[in-house]
């Protein structure tokens, strides 16, 4: 049997287990299997046969479960997935040749002014990204993220591109002063020319901007990424090879500002480090950088060397997705992209694991908080969905899980500002940050927890539980024994089915139940179980020991003879306990929600 197919073995084990269970439960079968002998009582043989049959049935059920698990895994074909590609260090000469070819190909496609502007936007993102809006929408078991970025530029940034495109220059206007930021490679100095090639001003080169749209950790797959401009027009992405060529030009420019043009071997060592496959630890990236530049470290400016070291450490662990964008008509333009991300932290706590087991939709979301560090202003918005509100919204450290408060923000930077719209019973979450570009980037995440607007499904579940508890308890007193004389079985079945029938009428759709809390789900399950158990107790006539007299004999002339079904009474008490707990939970939720509405959501606060 062990070598048979898992499905066949599972079915055979279950059939044998069912036969053995019948032997253990049905009178006479055990005695037929083990007839009593002379000098040995029959009950002893039958008891031994029943116990042995029960134990053997349990063993067969366990074997059937193992066979079913093997059959399930064999059907899933998990082992046929291709897996992650191996990291191949490759040949050094081949790597250098690929980098050179990519740089030459990019320099022929795009003018040096486009690549120069790209380098400035990559190295100094906060200088150009003045506002980022991050909108998140739950879609099934994932999140759809839409990021809109407002860029700004100075007159010098776009003058060369406009001249090559044959467009008139933009009238000079006063620009806001850029703030130097050492936390993310910021500054006000424009880098030197990126290319050694001289642009042909009369050539037919494309007059587009190259924009670093997305930076992602190496090894991360970007799901369903689409990018567009402010008008909704799709923007093309550069291929991976061309993106590497553009980044290589940027790194070359920063290297030449640090060490000059006389050390190509050191430059290509850094390029190989940046474009190596796989992701390395940050400490290892710094070690590799120090080893590569050890021979020329003495001739470099310390501040520029620190900047180059930080850029290389970032590019070693991340890759850049580059998009082509048309020239803006003014000094500001908007680009946006959308992507799909999983719901992180679905099994981070016991409560969330139970929601997964019960098939409930997630109500707590963990959102990475990395965009505020590359922009002047950041807005996050997330809608709660129908009949829901934001119950909690806070920021915490991704590594330690500690909550980030205002004192922690001030330690990061005196200019940093963070505010969260919380404790206001709003149907959407809103987080706002300002001047996080002056902070050293940290691994931060935000937790957004939604809950249904009370009373909602919890209130309906309470009323159903109270109705079921009342009906079950009254039946225990008024119909202690269903003998068919006072109340027929059909009437009892109808009374016990009141709560399930009412649940269908009040609109317990599957979608509504999946959005509810664990308390609502468990309360509804307990309500159904108490109704089913009470109905089972009325299927057959109750034994005499289950029927007890209650009440004082002195009250018998007034209320008559009163008996109670002890079994049904205990079921009714369990239903009453369930209803009481649901009532307490509903009362707390409703009081909290009303407090938020009255104390935080007044009209006067709108004008502050």
More confident residue, 88 or 571: 571
Q: Of 270, 252, 279, 272, which Cα lies nearest the Cα of 94?
A: 272
Mean pLDDT value of segment 333-358: 79
Per-residue pLDDT for 479 more than 50? yes
Q: Which of the four pLDDT bands, split at 50, 70 and 90, describes residue 606? A: very low
Average pLDDT over every residue of 164-174: 56
In the chain, the percentage of residues whose pLDDT exceeds 90 is 4
Q: Taking residues 223-250, what's their average pLDDT?
A: 87
- Give the 3-state secondary structure of 552-567: CHHHHHHHCCEEEEHH
Burial class (CB in 10 A: 0-12, 13-18, 19+), 461: buried
pLDDT confidence band for 580 (50 / 70 / 90): very high
pLDDT at position 379: 93
- Residue 179: is its pLDDT beyond 70? no
**DSSP-derived pairing of the beta strands 547-550 and 562-565:** antiparallel
- In this predicted structure, which of 85-99, 350-364, 550-564 has the lowest mean pLDDT? 550-564
List phi, psi (to 5°) of 376: -75, -40
Confidence of residue 501 (pLDDT cuts 50, 70, 90): low
Peptide linkage before 455 cis (omega within 30 of 0): yes
| 252 and 192 Cβ atoms separated by less than 8 Å | no
8 A C-beta contact, residue 387 and residue 456: yes
pTM: 0.74
pLDDT confidence of residue 96: 77
pLDDT for the residue numbered 182: 39
Confidence label for 202 from pLDDT (cuts 50, 70 and 90):
very low
- Measured between its terminal Cα atoms, the distance across the chain in Å is 78
The answer, yes or no, to whether residue 497 has pLDDT greater than 70, is no
More confident residue, 474 or 196: 474
Domain ranges of the chain: 6-79, 92-125+151-168+177-215+230-330, 343-452, 456-600
Residues 297 and 585: their CA atoms lie apart, in Å, by 66
Poorest-confidence range of 196-205, 332-341, 368-377, 553-562? 196-205
176 DSSP 8-state letter: P
CA nearest neighbour of 242 among 101, 33, 393, 388: 101
CA 554 vs CA 56, 342, 551: distances in Å: 57, 69, 8
Q: Where are the alpha helices (DSSP H) in 293-391?
A: 302-317, 350-357
- pLDDT grade for 191, boundaries at 50, 70 and 90: very low
pLDDT of residue 177: 40
| Residue 271 burial by Cβ neighbours in a 10 Å radius (0-12, 13-18, 19+) | buried
Least confident of 64-73, 169-178, 480-489: 169-178
Measured CA to CA, the distance from residue 225 to residue 532 in angstroms comes to 50
pLDDT tens readout for residues 441-464: 888 888 888 888 888 888 888 888
Comparing CA positions, the residue from 409, 332, 407 lying closest to residue 151 is 332
Q: Is 359 left (phi over 0), alpha (psi -120 to 50) or beta?
A: left
How many CB atoms lie under 10 A from the CB of residue 446? 20
Which tokens hold the place of 416? Answer: 């940093």
Residue-level pLDDT at 598: 79
Confidence of residue 485 (pLDDT cuts 50, 70, 90): low
Which residues neighbour 21 within 8 Å (Cβ) at sequence distance 6 or greater? 53, 54, 57
Q: Which pLDDT score is estimated for 164?
A: 65
Average pLDDT score over the chain? 77
**Arithmetic mean of pLDDT, 101-108:** 88
pLDDT band at 10 (very low <50, low <70, confident <90, very high): confident
pLDDT of residue 454: 83
- What are the pLDDT digits (tens) for 15-28? 888 888 887 777 66
Highest mean pLDDT among 73-77, 257-261, 383-387: 257-261
Q: Which tops the pLDDT comparison, 344 or 501?
A: 344
d(CA 310, CA 373): 15
Residue pair 244/250 in contact by the 8 Å Cβ criterion: no
- What digits encode the pLDDT tens for the residues 354-408? 777 777 777 888 888 888 988 889 999 998 777 888 888 888 888 888 888 888 8
Given a contact cutoff of 8 angstroms between Cβ atoms, the answer to whether 458 and 516 are in contact is: yes
Distance separating alpha carbons of residues 322 and 244, to the nearest angstrom: 9
Query: pLDDT class for 175, splitting at 50, 70, 90?
Result: very low
Half-sphere exposure of residue 50, counting CA atoms within 13 Å on the CB side?
A: 13
- In angstroms, the CA 73 to CA 392 distance is 40
Residue 556: the pLDDT is: 59
Q: What percent of the chain has pLDDT over 70?
A: 75
Cα–Cα distance between 568 and 172 in angstroms, integer?
Answer: 87
Residue 181 in this model has a pLDDT that exceeds 50: no
Cβ 45 vs Cβ 52: under 8 Å: no
Half-sphere exposure in the Cβ direction for 411 (13 Å, CA): 6
Q: Give the residue ranges of DSSP H helices in 262-301.
A: 264-274, 282-292
């Amino acid at each position: 049997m062990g070598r048979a197919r898992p499905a066949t073995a599972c079915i055979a084990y279950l059939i044998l287990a069912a036969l053995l269970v019948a032997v253990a439960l049905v009178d006479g079968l055990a005695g037929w299997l083990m007839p009593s002998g002379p000098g040995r009582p029959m009950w002893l043989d039958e008891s031994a046969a029943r116990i042995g049959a029960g134990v053997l049935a349990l063993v067969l059920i366990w074997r059937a479960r193992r066979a079913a698990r093997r059959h399930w895994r064999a059907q899933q074909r998990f082992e046929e997935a291709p897996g992650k590609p191996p990291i191949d260090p490759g040949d050094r000469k081949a790597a250098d040749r690929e980098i050179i070819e990519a740089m030459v190909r990019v320099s022929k496609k795009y003018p040096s002014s486009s690549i120069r502007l790209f380098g400035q936007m990559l190295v100094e993102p906060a200088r150009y990204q003045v506002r980022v809006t991050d909108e998140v929408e739950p879609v099934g078991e994932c999140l759809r993220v839409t990021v809109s970025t407002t860029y700004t530029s100075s007159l010098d940034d776009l003058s060369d591109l406009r001249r090559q495109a044959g467009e008139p220059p933009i009238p000079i206007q006063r620009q806001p002063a850029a703030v130097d930021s050492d936390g993310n490679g910021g500054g006000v100095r424009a880098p030197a020319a990126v290319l050694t090639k001289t642009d042909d001003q009369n050539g037919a080169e494309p007059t587009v901007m190259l924009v670093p749209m997305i930076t992602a950790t190496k090894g991360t797959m970007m799901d369903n990424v689409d990018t567009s401009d402010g008008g909704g027009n799709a923007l093309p992405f550069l291929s991976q090879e061309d993106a590497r060529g553009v980044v290589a030009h940027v790194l070359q420019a920063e290297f030449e500002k640090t060490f000059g043009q006389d050390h190509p071997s050191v430059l290509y060592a850094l390029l190989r480090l940046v474009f190596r496959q796989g992701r390395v630890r940050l400490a290892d990236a710094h070690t590799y950088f120090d080893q590569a530049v050890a021979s020329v470290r003495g001739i470099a400016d310390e501040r520029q060397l620190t900047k180059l070291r930080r850029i290389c450490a970032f590019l070693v662990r991340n890759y850049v997705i580059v998009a082509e964008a048309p020239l803006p008509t003014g000094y500001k333009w908007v680009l946006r992209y959308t992507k799909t991300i999983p719901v992180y932290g679905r099994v981070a706590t016991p409560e969330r694991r139970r929601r997964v087991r019960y098939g409930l939709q997630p109500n707590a979301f963990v959102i990475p908080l990395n965009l505020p560090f590359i922009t002047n202003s950041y807005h996050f918005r997330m809608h709660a969905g129908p009949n829901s509100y934001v119950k909690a919204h806070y920021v915490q450290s991704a590594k330690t899980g500690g909550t980030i408060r205002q004192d922690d923000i001030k330690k990061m930077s005196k200019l940093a500002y963070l505010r969260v719209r919380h404790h206001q019973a709003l149907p959407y979450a809103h987080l706002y940050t300002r001047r996080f570009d002056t902070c050293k980037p940290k691994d931060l995440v935000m937790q957004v927890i939604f809950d249904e607007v009370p009373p909602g499904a919890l209130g309906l579940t309470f009323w159903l539980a109270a109705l079921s508890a009342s009906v079950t308890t009254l039946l225990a007193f008024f119909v202690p024994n269903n003998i068919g004389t006072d109340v027929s079985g059909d009437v009892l079945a109808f009374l016990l089915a009141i709560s399930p029938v009412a649940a269908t009428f009040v609109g317990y759709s599957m979608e509504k139940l999946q959005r509810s809390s664990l308390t609502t789900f468990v309360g509804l399950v307990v309500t159904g179980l108490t109704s089913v158990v009470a109905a089972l107790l009325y299927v057959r006539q109750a034994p005499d020991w289950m029927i007890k007299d209650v009440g004082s004999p002195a009250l018998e002339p007034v209320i008559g003879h009163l008996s109670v079904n002890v079994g049904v009474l205990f079921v009714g008490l369990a239903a009453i306990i369930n209803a009481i707990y649901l009532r307490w939970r509903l009362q707390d939720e409703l009081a909290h929600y009303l407090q938020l509405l009255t104390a935080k959501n007044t009209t006067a606060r709108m004008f502050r």
